[in-house]
Amino acid sequence: DAGVIQSPRHEVTEMGQEVTLRCKPISGHDYLFWYRQTMMRGLELLIYFNNNVPIDDSGMPEDRFSAKMPNASFSTLKIQPSEPRDSAVYFCASSLDTGIGQFFGPGTRLTVL
Partner 1 sequence: GNSVTQMEGPVTLSEEAFLTINCTYTATGYPSLFWYVQYPGEGLQLLLKATKADDKGSNKGFEATYRKETTSFHLEKGSVQVSDSAVYFCALYSGAGSYQLTFGKGTKLSVIP
Q: Which residues bind partner 1 (CB under 8 A)?
A: 4, 31, 33, 42-43, 45, 48, 50, 55-56, 91, 93, 98-107
Neighbours of 12 (CB within 10 A): 12
Contact indicator for 35, 44 with CB cutoff of 8 Å: yes
Contact indicator for 92, 3 with CB cutoff of 8 Å: no
Could you give the 3-state DSSP secondary structure of residue 84?
helix
Query: Is the CB of 56 or the CB of 83 nearer to partner 1?
Result: 56
Q: Provide the minimum distance between the beta carbon of 29 and partner 1 in the complex, in angstroms, as a whole number.
A: 12
Q: Provide the minimum distance between the beta carbon of 18 and partner 1 in the complex, in angstroms, as a whole number.
A: 24
Q: Provide the minimum distance between the beta carbon of 27 and partner 1 in the complex, in angstroms, as a whole number.
A: 18
